[in-house]
Structure 1
Amino acid sequence: MKQILSKWSETSLVLRILIGIIIGTCLGLFVPQFTGIGILGVVFVSALKAIAPVLVAVLVTASIAKASNGLGSRFRVVISRYMLSTFIAAICAVVGSFAFPVKMQLRDVVEGSAPGALTDVFSNLLTNMVTNPILSVSQANYIGILFWAILIGVALKLKASQPTINVVQDFSQIITLTVKWVIQFAPFGILGLVFTSVSEGGLDVFTTYGHLVLLLVGCMLANTLIFNPLISFLMLRRNPYPLLFTCLKESGLQAFFTRSSAANIPINMNLCKKLGLDEDFYSVSIPLGATINMDGAAVTITVMTLAVANTVGVEVTFASAFFLCIIATLAACGTSGVAGGSILLIPMACSFFNIGNDIAMQAVAVGFIIGVIQDSVETALNSSGDVFFTATAEYYDRMKKSPTA
């Protein structure tokens, strides 16, 4: 049994998911009457629904508690660029979603309504923020989870001893490992989800998913090839593309297949060494980027949330779209390092539009179906961006100290 489990875990998750999609499609086409197969998808989504609130609470708390102080001017530059690029990615996703609106096939969908006035938006937001933290986790109130996780993380950082912070960090790693175990069964869950979708809607379901994938990948590519280089150019006043293509080739390509920014940290550090960067700088900025430089995650959260809003009939105003960009930026910084981590934060963003957790978790399930492409491109963007902005920040610092360099 151990050998079987070992073989299973060693096989590429992407390959297993692809096999699950193919099998689920064939079963949905040829034996749609075997409705019991769909229970695999229900169980998988239920497991994700149960663990996701705990994951968000622990990851955000631990991330803030362990954050370093006094990083210096270069670190302020790189952190600000990490956050700026993530926010721009969210804006790009909003523009793309408005220009090319996408709907999903979700079950038990009822017509929703956007929060009426801007005061209603703030009222709902503030009410959800101060909900009891235990209730927030048990009821999947992600706005409340994020609020309390930030406060508790800051309190730990200010008052807790290092051993206590280590315990919190260890607990976050335990929860992350638990999520990894759940995701190991994603191929079976996706098999059931694809079976249900195909048996009920035929192959047309992949047309919608295809449009969604194109929108996601298009926004990510725009951020990678246009907006990130523009940020670098405005800082350095020189052609950013040689550096960008080096990062994509030596970091992005690896990250595309590993689908983990954390797993790509050693590769990124080696690339920084090859680029001649300061080790004291990149040894901190690269792990930091693997946590907070999440352009692809911001795109995923924003596009998927607006697709759900479009499906349930929620009218998204300019003000609510702007606040969604802020929420997506902050949420992306707490994204788990496991494959599909950003997808688990969709319910938090959906809650901003009063979209129920049951509906939002269906979008999470769709996210795992398209994750074969979405998550690979997302990780490639995130990880290559870590090196790109680390190098940009150091070159900028050198340029300020020696303008003729």
Structure 2
Amino acid sequence: MFAKYRSVSLILRIIIGLVIGAALAVIFPKAAFIGVMGQLFVGALKGIAPVMVFFLILSAISAFREGGENHFGSVIELYLSATLLSAFAAVAASWLFPLKLNLPKSVKVAANAPKSLGKVIEDLLVNAVGNPLDAIVNANYLSILFWALLIGFMLRLASKQTRQTITEISDAIIKVAQLVIEFAPFGICGLIYTSISETGFASVAKYGQLVLLLVGTMAAVYLILYPLMVFVMTGQNPYPLTLWTLKVSGIPAFFTRSSAVNIPINLQACEDLGLNKESYAVSITLGGSANSGGAAITVSVMTLAACATLGIHVSFFLAVILCILTALAATGASGIAGGSLLIIPMAASIFGISNDIAMQVVGVGFIIGVIQDSVETAVNSASDLLFAAAAEWHDVQKATGKKVDIKAAVRNADHKQNNRVPVANAERA
């Protein structure tokens, strides 16, 4: 039965789960046990992801070869450029379509937002050197990345047998993560059920213009700006890859609302594309923090909306400062749902907006988070995959002078995903 279940495309199974979850929310809005499937799915991914990322990086770095094709430079360049350009696009969209907010004074949110860029940088550095065991338990991916890199480099001095053991453990954990992903349709069924039955879209209606501006900007960035960047890097039609990453990575991320939770899905997609494991094992994890175009858009749009609401004039110079500040701060945004919203008070502070008012803006963000945070996470996660592939193919073309056939690579990856052999059959084979 499991083999027959897996014979259906994962994306098709997810869509079916989405439809069933929405229907159940309408028919049985009080059946809370249905939502438990979503909690179990997200909980399982959250549980396995930190361990998997640690051992994956450990394995990749310990097996690192001098002169190997790792593509880190191109990946980081794309991540940082995309985040900064996304912030500029958000400012342009806010100037073209200015809007004001209806601030809900009754909304209460946590008041632990960072108040300066220096504080953000300090927190990043402190978090990076945190206890490695605590980092795995609490999914602190900056710390996981830091310690896995250090230990991995030291393991290069270990025996071949030790490094091989690390690789085998990593492979086993990846198989566990892939098994969890197979149950994504049930998880998404539970997630969409909870979203519709508890929240619905009534609370979002009065903030419709803000939602449209945010979603429209994110869509324009992902479908126009990012493909243009990929075209510059590869010299080929970027849309086969762009649309494929949205389908494979963006759809699951939309419902989980967590870039960190989506890491196993992106790693599997990279493998299906035939990318270099030494590169994507680190770049996909790094993208969870360094590539935050969606977060930069959210912070910029909502900060400028607050300025419009309060009648604050935003000069070109201050807009540029906002973009740079937002891009830097967004790279430290948490990989969990709603992580980017707490950056808003820091961005608002450069316009003299008090923390009390800024936290009301954050409250608006939580109200529309059903849509805003879902789309933001889809953009962030899918672009991690998009830029990891574009960076590698750019470097390969530069080194060999031969272009990678993007259409063929995507077609082959689709074939692998649609015809994945069940684990038991694969082992027998």
Q: What TM-score, normalized by structure 2, do the two folds share?
A: 0.61
Asked whether the 8 Å contact 2:267–2:280 carries over to 1, the reply is: yes
2:320 is aligned with 1:322: yes
Matched residue type, 1:147: G
Q: Residue 102 of structure 1: which of 93, 99, 104 is its match?
A: 99
Aligned-partner Cα distance in 1 for 2:291–2:123: 22
Preserved contact between residue 114 and residue 342 of structure 2 (Cα < 8 Å): no
Distance apart, 1:166 and its partner CA: 2.4
Measure the CA separation in 2 of the matches of 1:171 and 1:355: 36
Distance in 2, Cα, partners of 1:277 & 1:72: 10
Structure 1 residues 12 and 354: CA distance shift in structure 2, 3 A? farther
Q: What is aligned with 2:205?
A: 206
Q: Output the aligned Cα RMSD.
A: 3.4
Offset at residue 319 of structure 1 (A)? 0.5
**SS of equivalent to 2:362:** helix
Distance 1:206-1:393 versus aligned 2 partners, 3 A rule = same
Shift of 1:357: 1.1
Distance 1:151 1:257, change over 3 A: closer
Give, in whole Å, the separation in 2 of the partners of 1:326 and 1:255: 26
| Correspondence for 2:36 | 10
Q: 5+ unaligned residues in a row in structure 1: which ranges? A: 14-67, 109-137, 177-185, 196-204
Aligned positions of 1:75-224 closer than 5 A: 75-106=72-103, 142-144=114-116, 146-151=117-122, 154=125, 165-166=131-132, 169=135, 173=139, 206-207=205-206, 209-224=207-222
The number of residues matched between the two structures is 291
Deviation at 1:150, TM superposition (A): 2.3
**Alpha-carbon contact 2:267-2:284 (below 8 Å) kept:** yes
Give the Cα separation in 1 of the matches to 2:113 and 2:238.
41
Secondary structure at 1:268 match in 2: helix
Percent identity reads: 46
Q: Which residue pairs with 2:44 in the alignment?
A: none
Cα distance, 1:404 vs structure 2: 2.5
Instruction: Give the TM-score, by structure 1 length.
Output: 0.64
Question: Which amino acid in 1 is paired with 2:132?
Answer: N
Hey, which bits of structure 1, 4+ residues long, moved more than 4 A? 6-9, 68-73, 138-141, 151-157, 170-174
1:263 to 1:166, Cα distance in 2 relative to 1, 3 A: same
1:228-249 superposed Cα distances (whole Å, 9 cap, x missing partner): 0101111111111111111111
Return the match for 1:380 from 356, 378, 381. Answer: 378
Aligned residue number for residue 337 of structure 1:
335
Aligned residue identity for 2:114 = Y
The equivalent of 1:23 in structure 2 is: none
Q: Distance in 2 between matches of 1:289 and 1:171?
A: 20
How far apart in 2 are the matches of 1:276 and 1:173? 28
Distance 2:262 2:214 in 1: 22
Equivalent residue, structure 2, for 1:354: 352
In the TM superposition, what is the alpha-carbon distance from 1:364 to its structure 2 partner? 1.0
Alpha-carbon spacing, 1:214–1:398, altered in 2? closer, same or farther (3 Å) = same
Q: Which of 378, 396, 399 does residue 397 from structure 2 map onto?
A: 399
1:165 CA displacement: 4.6
- The structure-2 alpha-carbon separation of the partners of 1:312 and 1:172, relative to structure 1 and needing over 3 Å to count, comes to farther
Specify every segment of 5 or more residues in structure 2 that has no aligned partner in the other structure, as ranges: 1-29, 40-60, 143-193, 404-429
- Residues 7 and 234 (structure 1 numbering): CA distance in 2 closer, same or farther, change over 3 Å? same
Q: Structure 1 residues 153, 335: CA separation in 2 closer, same or farther (over 3 Å shift)? A: closer
Cα distance in 2 for partners of 1:273, 1:243 equals 14
Task: Label 1:7 to 1:344 Cα distance change in 2 as closer, same or farther (>3 A).
Answer: farther
Distance in 2 between the 1:380 and 1:139 partners? 27
In structure 2, C-alpha distance between the alignment counterparts of 1:168 and 1:143, rounded to whole Å: 26
Aligned counterparts of 1:316 and 1:252: Cα–Cα separation in 2: 33
Task: Give distance in 2, aligned partners of 1:141 and 1:336.
Answer: 12
